[in-house]
Chain A
Amino acid sequence: MNTEKRLFKGKLKQYSLLIALVIIIAFFQIVTGGLLLKPMNVSNVVFQNAYVVILAIGMLLCILTGGNIDLSVGSVVALVSAAAGQMIIVWKWNVYFSIGICLLLGIMVGIWQGFWIAYVRIPAFIVTLSGQLVFRGCTLLLLNGMTLAPFPNDYLMFSTGFIAKEAKVDILGMNMNIVCLITGIVIALVFCILQIVNNATRRRKGYEAESSLSLAVKLVLISAVLIWFFALLAQYQGIPTVLVILGVLLVVYTFITTKTVAGRHLYALGGNEKAARLSGVKTNRLFFLAYVNMGFLAAVTGLVFAARLNSASPVAGGNFELDAIGACFIGGASAYGGVGTIGGTLIGALIMGMLNNGMSILGLSSNLQQVVKGLVLLGAVAMDVISKMNLEILPRRKKVVAEPQKG
């Protein structure tokens, strides 16, 4: 096999998830008669999936440490929203102060679980299974089995609000939110400029750089998708606040996993813990931090979710852990650790989200939806495992670009 073909195959695998997502979107767009990508529905999809993505980011870091999952996140979400409800609705505390306390609560939960997992070395599965029971129990105790509602408006803004909702203008015959549209264009521009500058610096320093043509194609495609997405949102109410939170988290965590020493160490820990330790990586601390971080993000999710439900319910967050874990594995994370990306996880979550949304529009029963989602999860991981199997059996040279870039 020649080099170009090999490279093409590698790229294909790298983008296979994205292609799968596009196919799913196209399929539902057709069978729902165009309902899927209606501005209102796109906005809805953002609201519906934000919490899964936030949880999945944290879950990915745990999985990277060596395939360790966190089964307690659903309960932590419930506990944090209950705490928020108690403080804001019952005690009428200041909203910002309460949010701070809630985030701290999440971190405390993370410290508790991380301690047992990283320093006492009890398998994460067991510690977090215990956490699932303990924190759900705490929630029930705190709420006494009742639901608290409603939250004041200034709290709801964080999750269900839109940015500059009123700034609507007529453009090209459509009533659009100008702030949203401009934001989209600015983000696309900034992204392009960063990429171009980056590539130019590389070329100047004599490092390997991408060819101008492939870079141009990539940038045009990504910009088009970004602007189109924001244009859709603009036709409805504008940018959902939660999208801002999500966007910031995605950027920050992508940066951490790909560009920082801590991120590199995380991948090393999952790839071979003993080797990482003998290379001076503080493995226990890293392990611990991954779970503290998970607690923090679970708290963020709890706050977002409480606002979306506009209530603190004792049953909130049921099965959230499964959605988050599913998103990571569909997104290409390895069940053994050391492999997986934030981008992949986002796509994994979107695949699940689109399936949910599309099937709901079609009016399929939720029972059937579960069956489909379960099969998709198995199918995605099976594809990954099988494609690796082929490469493993074949000789060395073939696998040059087989793994998605990471670290």
Chain B
Amino acid sequence: MGNTLLKMQNITKEFPGVKALDQVNIEVEEGEIHAICGENGAGKSTLMNVLSGIYPYGSYEGDIIFNGKECRFHTIKDSEHQGIVIIHQELALVPYLSIAENMFLGNEQAENGVVNWDLTYQKCSEYMKMVGLHENPHTLVKDIGMGKQQLAEIAKALAKDVKLLILDEPTSSLNENDAKNLLDLLLEFKKNRGITSILISHKLNELSYCADKITIIRDGHTIETLEKGKDEISEARIIKGMVGREMTSRFPPREHHIGDVALEVKNWTVYHPLYADRKVVDNACLTIHQGEVVGIAGLIGAGRTELAMSIFGKAYGAHITGELFLDGKKVEIHTISQAITDGLAYVTEDRKGNGLIVADSIKHNITLARTEFISKNGILDKDLELHKAKEIREKLNVKTPTVEQLVGNLSGGNQQKVLVGKWIFAQPNVLLLDEPTRGIDVGAKYEIYQIINNLVAQGKAVLMISSELPELLGMCDRIYVMNESHIIAELDGKDASQERIMEYIMQDSKGEIGA
């Protein structure tokens, strides 16, 4: 260690009207894991785009010195030639190509334009072994899970002879196990291969787990760089650097006024819509009271989303059986519009894919689920719509000059607020929140938690699915643990701990194998 691999000096990048980066300095030493953290919109991604040549030389000010040489990248190809590989948050794999084809995409093992498939698959297997990905290289990427796709991306980077690996929120869609594997892999690369990594992450526990240095960026400025061993690295300090103020608690306090049962589900069984004999939810029973936040913990694929969506007007699954009670009354809900009128709301985990119309305005998105509130006899009252949308914007503190703004132009945190706002506008009694804080920064998370608290204070019932255990522990009155389509445990919020939840899951999984 000690050799400076990368030095970015006084990087300033301006967009018309906004200074996205202002005199940013960062130094990365060879063989270290350097974390960059900051709120959404702080400039992390812009900085990485400058580094990788997505914003070509000349469109920014400042110098990039890599491996002792000044670099002027004009395209991503230029930076990849130097061994700088960036893995984006949204993976760039082609679903209908095999792992091997993806791995050598743009880097084909070919002679005179003719691909050598034997060599391709052989090399692919080697790289897959390096990252611990145990799959057939012929498998299509769409058929492997998110965690494995992430590994395939990293193997792809290795195939490009990477010197500096940049990962943009690599664990945002992984569960805790896969996330830890990934971080261990980075540590292993560092130790055995001398690969330097830059890790952009919102998850503070990950940073303290594997980062040697942490650079904090706020509003386009570098705030400070913390070094492991030299500086005290604590979540409190990082949060303070990121948001510019002390956050005494990551979870806002809430008064508990738990009322009657709002939603009860009995013996709920759901089959996979395509594979008719696969149960995705098996005999689940759960209750949520008014004014209560109930969590569902579990690994990805445990059936949590499937459970929530099947309750929401059978939006998912086939051959759904079981009983559903709203406010103590048995109901049969067969369509989504019926579920909405009956006071259910499902806030999806995939806000861009399933939740919002990104090419449409904020106001249209907010009112979509309940157009009857802004219309009479099927005719829209657009003035009323505008007014209502503004109310929601104020209430949820969506940072935008106008509700005419297209949703796609908002930051992740603000998009999430619009999504939640859309369902608050629908005036539900029971909200099913699926990963409500995925991929948004600490400050925005806090605001979402406050919104949830306000909802339960009004007597609404909230079901919260989350892969971040601390979040469930911080927010929930009760937590159900789900594993392999079963609800395996119910814990009181006060007694629950990360260890206990993981223990339940581990034991349950073991039992399956044993049987």
Chain A residues with CB under 8 Å of chain B are 1, 202, 205, 207-208, 259-265, 267-268, 271-272, 274-282, 338-339, 394-403, 407
Q: B15 near A280 (CB under 8 angstroms)?
A: no
Show 18 residue pairs from A and B whose CB-CB distance is below 8 angstroms, ordered by the A residue. Answer: A202-B383, A207-B383, A261-B372, A264-B368, A271-B357, A271-B360, A272-B353, A278-B336, A280-B313, A281-B337, A338-B357, A338-B360, A339-B359, A395-B16, A395-B18, A398-B16, A403-B406, A407-B360
Q: B357 near A268 (CB under 8 angstroms)?
A: yes
Q: How far is the CA of A92 from the CA of B126 in the complex (A)?
A: 81
Q: B354 near A264 (CB under 8 angstroms)?
A: no
A272 touching B356 in the complex, CB below 8 Å, given contacts A278-B315, A395-B18, A397-B409: yes
Q: How far is the CA of A401 from the CA of B404 in the complex (A)?
A: 8
B229 within 8 A of A: no
Chain B residues with CB under 8 Å of chain A are 15-18, 20, 312-313, 315, 335-337, 339-340, 346, 348, 353-360, 364, 368-369, 371-372, 375, 378-380, 382-383, 386-387, 401-402, 404-406, 409-411, 422
Q: A279 near B409 (CB under 8 angstroms)?
A: no
**Shortest CB–CB separation between residue B366 and chain A, in angstroms?**
11
Q: How far is the CA of A397 from the CA of B353 in the complex (A)?
A: 23
Q: A282 near B16 (CB under 8 angstroms)?
A: no
Q: B16 near A265 (CB under 8 angstroms)?
A: no
Give the chain A neighbours of B356 by CB distance below 8 A.
272, 275
Q: B354 near A207 (CB under 8 angstroms)?
A: no
Q: A261 near B380 (CB under 8 angstroms)?
A: yes
> Max chain A CB contacts within 10 Å: which of B16, B312, B371?
B371
> Max chain A CB contacts within 10 Å: which of B356, B359, B411, B422?
B359
Q: How far is the CA of A401 from the CA of B409 in the complex (A)?
A: 12
Q: B359 near A275 (CB under 8 angstroms)?
A: no
**Closest residue on chain A to residue B401 by CB atoms:** A400
Give the chain A neighbours of B348 by CB distance below 8 A.
275, 278
Give the chain B neighbours of A267 by CB distance below 8 A.
360, 364
**Shortest CB–CB separation between residue A199 and chain B, in angstroms?**
11
8 residue pairs, one from A and one from B, having the closest CB atoms: A271-B357, A280-B337, A395-B15, A279-B369, A396-B409, A207-B383, A272-B357, A261-B371
**Closest residue on chain A to residue B367 by CB atoms:** A264
Question: Can you name 8 extra interface pairs (CB under 8 A) apart from A259-B382, A264-B368?
Answer: A261-B375, A264-B380, A267-B360, A271-B358, A279-B336, A279-B369, A397-B409, A398-B17
Give the chain A neighbours of B360 by CB distance below 8 A.
267-268, 271, 338, 407
Q: How far is the CA of A317 from the CA of B378 in the complex (A)?
A: 35
Q: How far is the CA of A310 from the CA of B120 in the complex (A)?
A: 67
**Closest residue on chain B to residue A392 by CB atoms:** B408
Give the chain A neighbours of B18 by CB distance below 8 A.
395, 397
> Max chain A CB contacts within 10 Å: which of B15, B340, B358?
B15
Give the chain A neighbours of B369 by CB distance below 8 A.
279-280
**Closest residue on chain B to residue A339 by CB atoms:** B359
Partner of A280, one of B336, B380, B383, B406: B336
Q: A277 near B315 (CB under 8 angstroms)?
A: yes
A271 touching B359 in the complex, CB below 8 Å, given contacts A261-B372, A395-B18, A398-B17: yes
Give the chain A neighbours of B339 by CB distance below 8 A.
280
Q: How far is the CA of A53 from the CA of B196 in the complex (A)?
A: 62
Q: How far is the CA of A277 from the CA of B355 in the complex (A)?
A: 10
Q: B358 near A207 (CB under 8 angstroms)?
A: no
Give the chain B neighbours of A281 by CB distance below 8 A.
337, 368
**Closest residue on chain B to residue A388 by CB atoms:** B359
**Shortest CB–CB separation between residue A65 and chain B, in angstroms?**
13
Give the chain A neighbours of B404 by CB distance below 8 A.
400-401
**Shortest CB–CB separation between residue B439 and chain A, in angstroms?**
17
Give the chain A neighbours of B17 by CB distance below 8 A.
1, 395, 397-398
Q: A259 near B380 (CB under 8 angstroms)?
A: yes
**Shortest CB–CB separation between residue B385 and chain A, in angstroms?**
9
Give the chain A neighbours of B401 by CB distance below 8 A.
400
A264 touching B364 in the complex, CB below 8 Å, given contacts A207-B383, A279-B369: yes
Partner of A268, one of B20, B368, B379, B387: B368
Give the chain B neighbours of A400 by CB distance below 8 A.
401-402, 404-405
Give the chain A neighbours of B383 by CB distance below 8 A.
202, 205, 207
Q: A278 near B364 (CB under 8 angstroms)?
A: no
Q: B409 near A282 (CB under 8 angstroms)?
A: no
Q: A259 near B355 (CB under 8 angstroms)?
A: no
Q: A396 near B410 (CB under 8 angstroms)?
A: yes
**Closest residue on chain B to residue A391 by CB atoms:** B409
Q: B386 near A208 (CB under 8 angstroms)?
A: yes
> Max chain A CB contacts within 10 Å: which of B346, B358, B379?
B379
Q: How far is the CA of A268 from the CA of B380 in the complex (A)?
A: 14
**Closest residue on chain A to residue B312 by CB atoms:** A278
Give the chain A neighbours of B406 by CB distance below 8 A.
399, 402-403
Q: B368 near A276 (CB under 8 angstroms)?
A: yes
**Shortest CB–CB separation between residue A234 and chain B, in angstroms?**
34
Q: How far is the CA of A155 from the CA of B451 in the complex (A)?
A: 64
Give the chain A neighbours of B402 by CB distance below 8 A.
400
Q: B378 near A260 (CB under 8 angstroms)?
A: yes
**Shortest CB–CB separation between residue A344 and chain B, in angstroms?**
16
Give the chain A neighbours of B340 by CB distance below 8 A.
279-280
**Shortest CB–CB separation between residue A104 and chain B, in angstroms?**
24
Give the chain B neighbours of A208 by CB distance below 8 A.
386
Q: A275 near B387 (CB under 8 angstroms)?
A: no
Q: How far is the CA of A267 from the CA of B401 in the complex (A)?
A: 24
Q: How far is the CA of A281 from the CA of B368 in the complex (A)?
A: 8
A279 touching B368 in the complex, CB below 8 Å, given contacts A260-B379, A262-B378, A395-B18: yes
Q: How far is the CA of A395 from the CA of B220 in the complex (A)?
A: 14
Q: B357 near A277 (CB under 8 angstroms)?
A: no
**Shortest CB–CB separation between residue A185 and chain B, in angstroms?**
28
**Shortest CB–CB separation between residue A4 and chain B, in angstroms?**
13
**Closest residue on chain B to residue A280 by CB atoms:** B337
Q: A399 near B357 (CB under 8 angstroms)?
A: no
Q: How far is the CA of A406 from the CA of B275 in the complex (A)?
A: 41
**Closest residue on chain B to residue A403 by CB atoms:** B406
Give the chain B neighbours of A398 by CB distance below 8 A.
15-17
Partner of B15, one of A259, A276, A394: A394
Q: How far is the CA of A3 from the CA of B348 in the complex (A)?
A: 35
Partner of B409, one of A207, A271, A278, A399: A399
Q: How far is the CA of A290 from the CA of B312 in the complex (A)?
A: 27
Q: A1 near B16 (CB under 8 angstroms)?
A: yes
**Closest residue on chain B to residue A209 by CB atoms:** B383
Give the chain B neighbours of A262 by CB distance below 8 A.
378
Q: A395 near B20 (CB under 8 angstroms)?
A: yes
Q: A276 near B357 (CB under 8 angstroms)?
A: yes
Give the chain A neighbours of B411 by CB distance below 8 A.
396
**Shortest CB–CB separation between residue B376 and chain A, in angstroms?**
10
Q: B354 near A275 (CB under 8 angstroms)?
A: yes
Q: How far is the CA of A267 from the CA of B355 in the complex (A)?
A: 15
**Shortest CB–CB separation between residue A279 and chain B, in angstroms?**
4
Partner of A338, one of B313, B315, B359: B359
Q: How far is the CA of A277 from the CA of B368 in the complex (A)?
A: 10
Q: B16 near A394 (CB under 8 angstroms)?
A: yes
Q: How far is the CA of A107 from the CA of B163 in the complex (A)?
A: 64
Give the chain A neighbours of B354 by CB distance below 8 A.
272, 274-275, 278
Q: How far is the CA of A278 from the CA of B20 in the complex (A)?
A: 35
